[in-house]
Amino acid sequence: MIRVLAPLIVPPHMSVSGGARAGEQLSFALAQQCRMSVASMLATADVAPVDAAGVSRVPVRTWLPPGLPWSRLPQRYRTLFYRSDIPDRIRPGAFDLIHLHNPMPALEMERVARAARRAGIPYLVSTHGFNEIANGRTVYGFDRLRGEVWRRLVENPVRRVVRGASAILALSPADFSILDGMGYQGPIHVASNGVAGGAAHDPEAEAAIRHKFNLPACSPDTLTCLFLANHTPNKGLPILLEAFRSLTIPYRLIVAGDTRPEIDYAAWRSQRPDQHLVVTGRLADADVAPMMRSADLFVFPTLADTLPLVVLEAMAEGIPVLASAIGGIPYQLEGGCGVLVPPGDAPALAEAVARIAANPAKRAEMGSRARARVAQHFTWEAAATNALRAYEQVLAGQPDWNEIPLALDDAA
């Protein structure tokens, strides 16, 4: 069996990461055909060496380089500099392939890729977060200095990693132009994220969710909308809140995911008795599906996303999606599974919400199509088949590493 190490390059302070979740799920799906090992930078206590899916868990230590006053820097800046001992695990003969997931912190991603090259082990890269990397300077509103820092510490390391990859696993065809812009000229395989099929409605679980988060009751003519993501700038939460504040229809808006202290959530609450904003904070994994099933519409006005797993999770539950036409989202929603709006356009988002609220039959049709599209195109089994094909092709055509310039040393 092919021996694969899957490093999950994620800032260890994060509580959840879509890229890391996707990397784990793909590794689970591949475990029947490959000897999979997962090395995650996320802080996880008491991890068993081998889990029920047959995937080996490699313990990972993370740290910030000594000698700098890290406590004085905001977390978003510290994120760029986290290191790990994953490169120390990559030794000649230890693995046949390295499959890199998630690009932040980019400097650590590059250290892992360098270790693979030194060990003579080919590596592949999945494009989690590539849209965010490519558009970060615009999305985060960086001035010239911070934009230059982003270019040097994020864009350039990812570009060098990509150029040295034996193959890229793109999450959707929307990633092709990004890879071209990074100067990548090797083989590209499409291996989209997958998701488990949605379960039937469970009234008891959904009642428990309503009780747990004190969700207000609403009448059948009140639209229940759900947003679920980390509340980072690229997810478009201010656009969402601005759009809903302008609505004149009844609604219940559930804003889930890790909150941020700089956002004044209370300031966005409506004074109308038939309009409710509920901020839940982070959801436990077991809460996601029943929360999805309690919604009429999943709203995701992201400003930069590659192929958001949460959109597929909503679709699997038969929930129609209203989202930005960005990255791979149009690919996800092909076939009438939802509605697309321009990114950053609050009036367009509000108009779409009002239009969808007025047409329950259309919502039901979009939800049915969403569930069917996920079942046909976005399963982990299909993703594993495509990834395994890429693994086999890389190993069949494995180059002589001594004859290839070390692209990772290129400072361009």
pLDDT score of 33: 94
Ranges 17-26, 132-141, 180-189, 214-223: which has the least confidence: 214-223
Do 161 and 98 have their domain in common? yes
Task: Encode pLDDT of 84-123 as tens digits.
Answer: 999 999 999 999 999 999 999 999 999 999 999 999 999 9
Residue 137 contacts residue 313 (beta carbons within 8 Å): no
Total-model pTM: 0.86
Residue with structure tokens 């399963």? 379
pLDDT score of 402: 37
Tokens coding 74: 């905001």
Average confidence (pLDDT) over 32-36: 95
Strand bridging mode 2-8 / 34-40? parallel
pLDDT score of 270: 87
Ranges 118-127, 151-160, 225-234: which has the least confidence: 225-234
Ranges 3-7, 189-193, 215-219: which has the least confidence: 215-219
Do 340 and 294 have their domain in common? yes
Average confidence (pLDDT) over 17-28: 91
pLDDT at 16 over 80: no
Q: Is 88 exposed, middle or buried (0-12, 13-18, 19+ CB in 10 A)?
A: exposed
Residues 6 or more apart from 391 whose CB is under 8 A from it? 2, 4, 34, 97, 99, 124
Nearest alpha-carbon partner for 193 in 128, 286, 97, 99: 128
Tokens coding 295: 């919604």
DSSP 8-state assignment for residue 378? -
Task: Encode pLDDT of 343-380 as tens digits.
Answer: 999 999 999 999 999 999 999 999 999 999 999 999 99
Tokens coding 389: 């094909």
Do 219 and 175 have their domain in common? no
Q: Which residues form the domain of 231? A: 203-377
pLDDT score of 209: 82
CA distance linking residue 325 with residue 333, whole number of Å: 10
Tokens coding 83: 């290191």
HEC string of 155-192 equals HHHHHHHHHCCCEEEECCHHHHHHHHHCCCCCCEEECC
Do 85 and 222 have their domain in common? no
CA distance linking residue 150 with residue 147, whole number of Å: 5
Do 141 and 45 have their domain in common? yes
Do 24 and 139 have their domain in common? yes
pLDDT score of 409: 42
Do 167 and 231 have their domain in common? no
The distance in angstroms from the start CA to the end CA of the chain is 37
Number of domains in the chain: 2
- For residue 357, the one-letter residue type is A
Residues 6 or more apart from 297 whose CB is under 8 A from it? 223, 224, 225, 226, 319, 320, 321, 322, 353, 356, 357, 363
Q: What is the mean pLDDT of the chain?
A: 90
pLDDT at 269 over 80: yes
Do 184 and 210 have their domain in common? no
